[in-house]
Structure 1
């Protein structure tokens, strides 16, 4: 055993069952093996009552590589991990497993939220462009009519030339959406109570109040974090302020919208919605959201899925490489910022 000459940090993978197999390609596993001293095939699903093999790896681990379904890093778990100095989270939010005990111990934390923001922003861009042209409504009407029809007259007033888009939240995803909208001919409004006006100017958007944003936008897209303060941020008053025929897009969290108030507007046919998230996350079977013609409902797929997980793995291994070479994380997370981020 020549472990004494191996200066690579010791690592442990901790995430939900079946996640590591989708996250890491053989090339990622090879890279991981080169960066850290770890068994890339050992994945911990539970840290509170670990198997002997996991317990031994946890006792040695200087860094944890986590992803969706990572077990909470409680005081008891940290006590069993005396050498732990860092957590690299190969997904977005760390709120589900990073506890106050981690910050108290001074553990460094990073996540690949930036990599996960990209597919969400891409989904949003597609939803905005389709919403502006009334693509879904036209497709449905075409399927029903199956006959020659004056579409130009029916779609008069639709289109993406100079349409106003309201972005709620200058989060990573919100900023990415703003970036993606730049080549198009939209007027972009932004509501974010934490953003300085100068920062909005740099983003090339007009900062407005939430009520003004809802009243002026033909399309409203929600990108705020889920916090006690943002619960039902878009309430009955904001929905009522939205112009007839406008579209609400939510790829953030279902709790940010007063769903009963939204359903009322949707059943009336006054608004359109593209919902990738709901509250509760799986709507009851009887929910009108499944059948309403003016709703596109998708099963929380805007974030990374399929081959997009490999982008998260790339970024996580980049951060692991920085840690292994003694450099600071490129995208560190600070405990005090978590109170107003996702």
Structure 2
């Protein structure tokens, strides 16, 4: 039996990973148990686990990754930790960084200490391409220096470095994954794709930062979670693995695609002032995970985007309450 602890497992990527673990048809999957630790803050939603809620192998624990006593109890019965729990919204980090430092840095430190105490046999910290900072040309490799621009990406870089330090100092079997911009169903509607799609479904304009020429690489959540699972299964402790989608687009080009999918025209776009410290381009070199672990992105972007738009159109009951209780959101990462 393999006992998983998935922190932030009721969030967007974390819940997809949990659903994937529990619906995996491989015979070995029958012997998995999954404990989800999540605070169920604004971006964590128990409804994200509804498709597997009746699976007896799943347990949801509502709690804080900074709660060391709770972590100790959970980690005493854990073989593998996959750490998604994080504050992840760049704009929120600019207006208030304290919670990002608390959750992303202090929470990761508390988790690592608990994993060390209970001799967890594999720890995977899920990070972001943003830690490399803006990349004018070429693509970031895992050996490139970190150059974060926002409090969010700085807090994630700090968590990555803590993980590597725990490996080098204590021998804790830690891997770090750094994924590119991820999209798909169940994403909280503050990120560009669900924000724009749900605005258009409501007949509202979409806010595009600056000139719209910022470039991002787009990765479907299923491909992202497949890459994470490859690292869980075969990643070398002490190593970092980039996970990308191979779909670099300017935000303007992405917006045009979303408009077409939603049947809207360019008049729906509202230009807003650019974000402070906005990185121009992210790009990941994924040759390491491809060559070592056999990873490749499988979801065609246009197909994945069309399926995502259809999912939001069919699931108003999931996203409407979130938008109604949230302040106005603007985000293009």
TM-score by length of 1: 0.34
Radius of gyration: which is bigger? 1
